[in-house]
Structure 1
């Protein structure tokens, strides 16, 4: 195998990439994620991050960006997979072809239909969600 593509740049995708490298994969490694960030720890978003006891930088799961020697395609949503040609189509029209493909997309937050559109109901799944909820008086929380 020369190219391994991992769709999903969260903890599961990062774990798959680390496992591939640990098992001796030396080929091209492509990690595709729809968020603009590298993998980060999600549980502290609703706890420490909103309290301002950790920053966005504290949440990232990688210490060394070159550790995996991977091509990161971030902010790139995968919209389809052609299994016969092993080609992943990204929302922006780009394609990624690979010998091996790992689907590690995780879950999406579901909204209850009866609560949709209410101004006092929020979704907290991503770093961007937490940043939008963090109080403006708490720059330590990474509020932008």
Structure 2
């Protein structure tokens, strides 16, 4: 179920010491297909933010990888191919247990991982805030969709 998106002030500040570059980035959308199937999500701020960052990625020729269910292995292969030439990974979509498991492995490939904090979905707002604070403490970058669209 959808919950109000947390405000930027509710998150711990990002500790990352690098900046996004459109020429080095890949946008990774997680579970977008499943998100679109949920009732009432089309007009939600979450979906608006996802559309906004997807459109910006297309405009800047940032590759987009869609990770979901049946095509997860194919998506991971595609992500691996892009990661060799585009070391900055930008994540948005549904934060699944599988994604939580693969993030540490991806960190061994590149330290430049960014999560769009107002374009992700967890179980509830409290988990959302805790997860962002947790990844921030681990050195992962996070920013909101507005900051991404200013690239």
Judge same fold: TM > 0.5, yes or no. no
Q: TM-score, normalised by structure 1?
A: 0.28
Which structure ranks higher in relative contact order (CA pairs < 8 Å, sequence separation ≥ 6)?
2
Q: Which has the higher helix share?
A: 2
